Amino acid sequence: MLTRKQLELLDFIQKRMDRDGVPPSFDEMKDALDLRSKSGIHRLITALEERGFIRRLAHRARAIEIVKLPDAMLRPGFSATAAQSGFSPKVIEGDRPAAGPPRGAMAVEAAAAMELPVLGRIAAGVPIEAISEVSHHVAVPGSMLSGQGQHYALEVRGDSMIEAGINDGDIVVIRETQTADNGDIVVALVEDQEATLKRFRRRQGMIALEAANPAYETRVYRDDQVKVQGRLVGLIRSY
């Protein structure tokens, strides 16, 4: 897996080669990645070469050739932030589903799809009131469901997670869990009253809920103020 800076550099090199037909200079790479010196670019270039993504050609100026691209960069809406975080949305497209049976997942086609309850809306912005009632059901491919435990879906409201590939109006698929690792995107219940979709971090005994949009500040809470309600495993987008 590439680091965020490695992904950013590879993406920058590809875009410049597509535009100009030649790779950018080391100075241009340094400026694009906001690094202080070219030595950092040398290290990133070496790492990309060792992993087989680029090749340096001898005796040629700007002698870099892209050999392959990681799967994350081939997906629409790629961002280095989302790819490095460990979550890359599994997106399926479809129309809004009609109302379905009572709450609970139900097999529609064996191993092909499941119907999950959509438990209302979740804020990808400032927290909104906690969600508890089923609004409708949505069909989800079985391959999208991750690990053990129950799953449910929520409709996203807000744009604080756009750099993680999560847009206003998307349906997110959540696996129920009360624990999370640093970097996971979770449904967090704040002070038993408000629910929000954010990236989870532990910091010196506190919990930080990070947005994936620079317009939103990171919110930091005491450990006892935040309860993890589930972890993001998939996404459904309607057009």
Which residues are the active-site residues?
160, 198
Q: How far is the CA of 214 from the CAs of 85, 162, 208, 210, in angstroms? A: 16, 10, 15, 10
Q: How far is the CA of 150 from the CAs of 44, 105, 153, 230, in angstroms? A: 41, 8, 11, 9
- Here the tokens at position 215 are 């317009």
Query: Rounded to the nearest 5 degrees, what angle is found at the Cα of 164, between the Cα atoms of 53 and 118?
Result: 135
In angstroms, the CA 229 to CA 100 distance is 23
